[in-house]
Structure 1
Amino acid sequence: MAPYPAQPIKGRERYRVLMDIRKLDAHNWLTLDKNYIDEHRVRTQLLQEKREKVLRCLPESIEPCQEALEEVSDFLCERFPNMFEMSRHNDQKFIKNHMTGDKFPVSGRDPNEGLTEALEAAVRLAMEDLSILMMNEEGEYYLAASASLFPTGWTVNQRIGWTISQLHGPVPLWHQQVASSVSKFLARLTPTTPMERSNYFVEIKAPNENLTDILYRPNSLCEKELSNPRPSEILIRRERQTFRRLPRTGAIVFGVKTYLTPLDELPMDELENLAKEMRSWPDYVGEYKGRDVWGAKVLEYHRQRVGEEKIEE
């Protein structure tokens, strides 16, 4: 299956931090595609080798994590019945993943088994990273649990327990332009009004870098030693972010699906929009996004493509 279509780069001429929230395509809350097995191998490796960095659950999140697993399992079995199957044994429900052979208990599990098992099972089944957002006594949502295996510039063990405001501290203009709107949006979200949004980054990969190191980026998307990347080594890294209020516990399950597109595979209209947007960024925004590493190469490649199209005409 081809990946679920990623939102195109818009080509905005003025830099602003926008929520760009839209109604969730509920039929495709979770998506599967041809990259499933390769990414599943990466997830398995990260959960084995870097578990403390990619998976953390605070004690108060145990019930929301369990509910998230139930929601994920029910959705996958209904949406992809040839790939996932639910069964019962005594008082327990189990989900079987026919692609990988994995089998996990969905209900009837012993809560004393540990805090992380339910959320781990959910992200082993899906292609999305999943986090649980809960409200604290001050009325702010915070990261109560997270299985973030494909991070960009952070790790779960560093930020578990952080509020949404703290999580976005490094993002230029986030607090000035959208912090209040984000808080209101999360507070108003209901189980019947799931939403989604998209964003993108530009990532540099090393020659022959493996998929694990490309997807797991806890430090930087643009390593400084790669100062002259080829177009095939410049990746447009897009995230489809989904927000669902869990009906039983009231927590929010936040999903992130990562898509990678090499610059030399980007459609011409999106390449033009990328060039337009990066020119609009103030210097401090460009520095935050890594433009000093890849910006000149993107513009050079854009000029080359424009020249080729003129010759063809």
Structure 2
Amino acid sequence: MDVRKLDVENWLTLDKNYMDEHVVRSQLLAQERHKVLQCLPESYEACLEALEEVVEFLTQRFSNMFDMKKHGEETTVYNKVTGETFVFGGKRTGQMDPLEIAVRLTMEDLSILMKNEDGEYYLAASASLFPVGWTVAERIGWTISRLHNPVPLWHQQVANSVSKFLCRLTPESPMERSNYFVEVKRPDEDLFDILYRPTTLSEDNPDPSPQDLVIRRERQTFRRLPRTGTIVFGVKTFLTTLDELPMQELENLAREVKSWPEHVGEYKGREIWGAKALEFCEKRRQQLGKASGNEEECQKQEEKLEKLDV
């Protein structure tokens, strides 16, 4: 799984894209709510605890953006950037799903994992607004194993490790990992279309430019909630077009793409974007090599001139 210890000070992160993505989140919750937000009845207390943790973290870590006040059992959180106010707890319970409030405040998608009678974790609640090839409405209630059925060699090589990892997770040992996909977009797509990918990562674009190939990174976090003992799973999505990647990352991408076995390449969509991506990587390498050669030649000329001056 390539997991590493999570720095609790950076559990949730905010960046310059906050408002742009907040607009998309609001649109999705208004237009596609049943597809992106589902909470099974048994998950309510865990969702409420997750919201409390989110609000506590944001109001402390980003006090310039969020403010919290408590009155009896009610908690009011004010988003200074968007101007929104949310009240939960006490008599306000049930007016808005706690998980919805949480993802209206964060840049992360958030899900709640609970154990079933067989001891296997399942998707008990999820606000996944920026999915890759699926919707929450389709998969709510699915076990972790079923969720990962399409992943090559999941059951043979990964499933057992993931099960042990989730069981061993404690409130004092939050973890994180990274994942990425290559997304093919049309030139006319806006941020809403790029982020919300419930069916496929590859749009109808037979000849994508480097600007149409998007590296879609995911920062995934795992925290066990202390009160309910459930797991809150967070996903922060980052988008970078191929032409924005530095040379080192391009070389790493090219090396990895070439190393994939056939079944992995098929799962990742390599046949759609692979040739174009590798062609761009090689072209950029040659351009930088030529530029480096020109710099060396200029340096030699300058050294000659300095000798003549002497």
| Matched ranges for 1:227-266 at <5 A | 227-266=206-245
Give the C-alpha shift of residue 90 in structure 1.
4.9
Maintained 8 Å contact 2:29/2:36: yes
State which structure, 1 or 2, has the greater radius of gyration over its C-alpha atoms.
2
Q: 1:312 aligns with which of 288, 291, 295?
A: 291
Q: 2:22 aligns with which of 40, 63, 73?
A: 40
The match for 2:151 is 171
Q: Mark the runs of 5 or more structure 2 residues left unpaired by the alignment.
A: 293-310
| Matched ranges for 1:48-67 at <5 A | 48-67=30-49
Does the C-alpha gap of structure 1 residues 155 and 234 become closer, same or farther in structure 2, counting only changes over 3 Å?
Answer: same
The match for 1:5 is none
Letter in 1 for 2:62: F
Matched, 1:95 2:77: yes
The match for 2:185 is 205
Give the C-alpha shift of residue 110 in structure 1.
4.5
Q: What percent of counterpart residues are identical?
A: 66
Q: Mark the runs of 5 or more structure 1 residues left unpaired by the alignment.
A: 1-18
Give the C-alpha shift of residue 309 in structure 1.
1.5
The match for 1:271 is 250
Matched, 1:180 2:160: yes
Describe the SS at the equivalent of 2:236: strand
Q: 1:290 aligns with which of 247, 269, 273?
A: 269
Q: Equivalents in 1 of 2:254, 2:241: separation in Å?
A: 15
Describe the SS at the equivalent of 2:114: strand
Q: Equivalents in 2 of 1:85, 1:138: separation in Å?
A: 42
Q: Equivalents in 2 of 1:33, 1:145: separation in Å?
A: 26
Maintained 8 Å contact 1:226/1:293: no
How many matched pairs? 292
The match for 2:199 is 219
| Matched ranges for 1:73-88 at <5 A | 73-88=55-70
Give the C-alpha shift of residue 312 in structure 1.
1.2
Letter in 2 for 1:234: L
Q: 2:139 aligns with which of 159, 164, 168?
A: 159
Q: Equivalents in 2 of 1:53, 1:100: separation in Å?
A: 24
> C-alpha deviations, 1:177-218, integer Å up to 9, x for none?
110000000001000000000010000111121101100000
Give the C-alpha shift of residue 106 in structure 1.
3.6
TM score, norm. by length of structure 1: 0.91
Letter in 2 for 1:281: W
Q: 1:134 aligns with which of 114, 134, 145?
A: 114
Maintained 8 Å contact 1:104/1:121: yes
Q: 1:105 aligns with which of 87, 91, 94?
A: 87
Q: Give every structure 1 segment of 4 or more consecutive aligned residues whose post-TM-superposition deviation is greater than 4 Å.
A: none
Give the C-alpha shift of residue 109 in structure 1.
4.6
Maintained 8 Å contact 1:92/1:106: yes
Q: Equivalents in 2 of 1:296, 1:109: separation in Å?
A: 58
Letter in 1 for 2:44: I
Give the C-alpha shift of residue 281 in structure 1.
1.1
Letter in 1 for 2:106: A
TM score, norm. by length of structure 2: 0.92
Q: Equivalents in 1 of 2:15, 2:81: separation in Å?
A: 12
Maintained 8 Å contact 1:206/1:226: yes
Letter in 2 for 1:183: S
Letter in 1 for 2:276: K
> C-alpha deviations, 1:233-286, integer Å up to 9, x for none?
100000000000000000000000000010001011110011111111112211
Higher RCO (CA < 8 A, seq sep 6+): 1
Matched, 1:124 2:104: yes
Q: Equivalents in 1 of 2:265, 2:160: separation in Å?
A: 24
The match for 2:124 is 144
